[in-house]
Amino acid sequence: MHFKLLNKAGSKEVVELHGSAYRVMCLGCKSNYDRGYIQEKLKDTNPNFKEDSGIIRPDGDVEISTERLSEFLPPTCDNCGGILKPDIVFFGDNVPRPRVNLVNENLLEGDSLLILGSSLTVFSAYRIVLKALETNKNVAIVNIGPTRADELVKLKIRVRCGEILPLIC
């Protein structure tokens, strides 16, 4: 679930374990940008490239034909001209150590853990549930589909997060 949605719901200290597609970072100098700014840069750099040129997937990926790809100019970092990527952890990447440390600190300080909208398929998220259970924390999961930890927790609410969060916040 995205930080902006949780912030609207009143949550102030949210750790996005796998980052957010709403932020973009430079692989060179580590500068950070708002995704909206980068989208505008994309439009400015590629004025003849219409948004309907490709299919936009839920993860933000766009399918571009090979013929059109040679015309496309990706935006670069304003600071160093470096390569930009969404500030998310892709499969095969590691969650940044400072973020893992922050999650572990928060887990130790809290008395329970609420998982929202995750299947817990990737081990970096599932590991948090295991650690919470290992330290006798209460764990609840809100997810419309099955999760890797369904059999381990006492409370699983099978509903869309957007339907239940307004009711409990």
pLDDT digits (tens, 9 = 90+) for 122-138: 898 999 999 999 999 99
Structure tokens at 58: 């839920």
Say yes or no to pLDDT of 97 above 90.
Answer: yes
Catalytic residue flag (residue 2)? no
**Rounded to 5 degrees, what angle do the CA atoms 86, 16, 165 make?**
120
Q: Which CATH class is domain 21-88?
A: alpha beta
11 pLDDT band (50/70/90 cuts)?
low
Provide the pLDDT for residue 3.
45
**Domain segments of the chain as ranges:** 3-18+93-168, 21-88
Average pLDDT over residues 160-166: 85
In terms of Cβ atoms closer than 10 Å to its own Cβ (0-12, 13-18, 19+), residue 10 is exposed
CATH fold group of domain 3-18+93-168: Rossmann fold (3.40.50)
What is the CA 66 to chain-centroid distance, rounded?
28
- Catalytic choice (5, 14, 16, 18): 18
